[in-house]
Amino acid sequence: MGSCIALNIKGYNAILREMGCGMIEGLDHINIVVSDLERAKRFFEMFGFTEIDASELRGEWISTIVKLKGVVARYVALALPASELRIELIKYENPASVKAPDLGKANKIGLRHLAFRVNDIEKEVERLKRNGVEFLSEVMVYKKLGKKLVYFCGPDGILLELAEYSSDN
């Protein structure tokens, strides 16, 4: 893999994929755990974000993905029109979220998670496994959106996600 290089030049992504370099296609979304979902939603709407999805998340599939038992949560997905920027706000009812002390300090390690959009999640999972990455679960599907996803940890335990959408989305 030492021959893989990162280029942001149109047309090179396909060449690099053919070389087996595996490419992240972009940042999929930023997920933020909040204590008051409606208040957080209103805050981001002030910046022009609009709601694109909202759901209650519960069941074995979400508990398996995030490695927490008995998950019950509500989430709202927001998009910034004329861009690809998306934010997911999530409020965990169970297990309840606990605010970490000094959460807003710039030198705190970690985020909720960053999600990377890919075009072939299974291929990326295999490539990353070969490079020592351990996943929290197998690839799961969020059926409402036809989205395949899987979580894994990065440096310092930062939670990351791979996400693949069907061509319909």
104 lies in a domain?
A: no
- Tens-digit pLDDT profile for residues 57-83: 999 999 999 999 999 999 999 998 988
Residue 124 burial (CB count, 10 A): 21
CATH code: domain of residue 83: 3.10.180.10
Q: What is the pLDDT of residues 48-57, one digit of tens each?
A: 889 999 999 9
* Domain-located, residue 117: yes
Look at residue 122 and tell me if it is in a domain: yes
Average pLDDT over residues 149-155: 85
- Higher-scoring residue by pLDDT: 160, 6: 160
Q: How many CA atoms lie within 13 A of 109 on its CB side?
A: 7
Q: Which of 37, 30, 149 is nearest to 97 (CA)?
A: 37
* Full domain range(s) for residue 78: 26-98+109-165
**17 lies in some domain:** no
* Number of folded domains that form the chain: 1
Please tell me the chain's helix, strand, coil percentages from 3-state DSSP, rounded to the nearest 5: 20, 35, 45
Angle at 72 between CA 54 and CA 158, to 5 degrees: 85
Give which of 79, 74, 69, 66 is closest to 28, Cα–Cα: 79
- pLDDT class of 47 with cuts at 50, 70, 90: confident
9 domain residue, yes or no: no
Lookup: tokens for 51: 């709601």
Q: Is the peptide bond before 95 cis (omega within 30 degrees of 0)?
A: yes
Encoded tokens for 99: 């605010």
- On the question of pLDDT at 158 being above 90, the answer is no
Is 90 inside a domain boundary? yes
- Residue 12 confidence (pLDDT) above 70: no
Residue 1 has pLDDT above 50, yes or no: no
Token pair of 83, please? 């861009």
Comparison of pLDDT for 57 and 154, the residue scoring more:
57
58 part of a folded domain: yes
Q: Is residue 158 part of a domain?
A: yes
Q: What is the pLDDT of residues 132-148, one digit of tens each?
A: 889 999 999 999 999 99
Which among 154, 159, 51 is positioned nearest to 113, based on CA atoms? 159
| Least confident piece of the model among 31-35, 60-64, 152-156 | 152-156
pLDDT at site 155: 65
